[in-house]
């Protein structure tokens, strides 16, 4: 049972990162895109601020550049 939970968590984490990366590469204004990310996360029950999204964007940029 614990192994299944780990697999599900890994899948959901990968899906979230993949979705964020896809949104970041979409041809859309950065401000509009960040608002969309915040709305999407709020619909999923994840509360975050614009500063949280900015931090996520910077982290993803660093990960993609390395």
Q: How far apart are the first and last CA of the chain?
A: 35
* Cα–Cα distance for residue pair 9/7, rounded to 1 Å: 5
The pLDDT value recorded for residue 8 is 77
The pLDDT value recorded for residue 2 is 62
Q: To the nearest 10°, the Cα dihedral for 31, 28, 11, 38?
A: 20
Q: How confident is the model at residue 19 (pLDDT cuts 50, 70, 90)?
A: confident
Contact predicate 57/43, CB 8 Å: no
Selected residue with higher pLDDT from 65 and 28? 65
Q: How confident is the model at residue 1 (pLDDT cuts 50, 70, 90)?
A: low
User: Can you list the alpha helix ranges (DSSP code H) found in the chain?
Assistant: 2-25, 30-43, 50-65
| Per-residue pLDDT tens over the stretch 40-50 | 888 988 888 88
Overall number of domains in the chain: 1
Query: Average pLDDT, whole number, for the chain?
Result: 79
Q: Which domain holds residue 23?
A: 2-65
């Amino acid at each position: 049972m614990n192994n299944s939970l780990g697999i599900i968590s890994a899948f959901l984490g990968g899906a979230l990162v993949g979705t964020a990366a896809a949104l970041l590469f979409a041809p859309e204004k950065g401000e509009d895109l960040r608002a969309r990310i915040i709305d999407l996360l709020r619909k999923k029950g994840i509360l975050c601020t614009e500063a949280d999204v900015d931090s996520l964007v910077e982290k993803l940029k660093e990960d993609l550049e390395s």
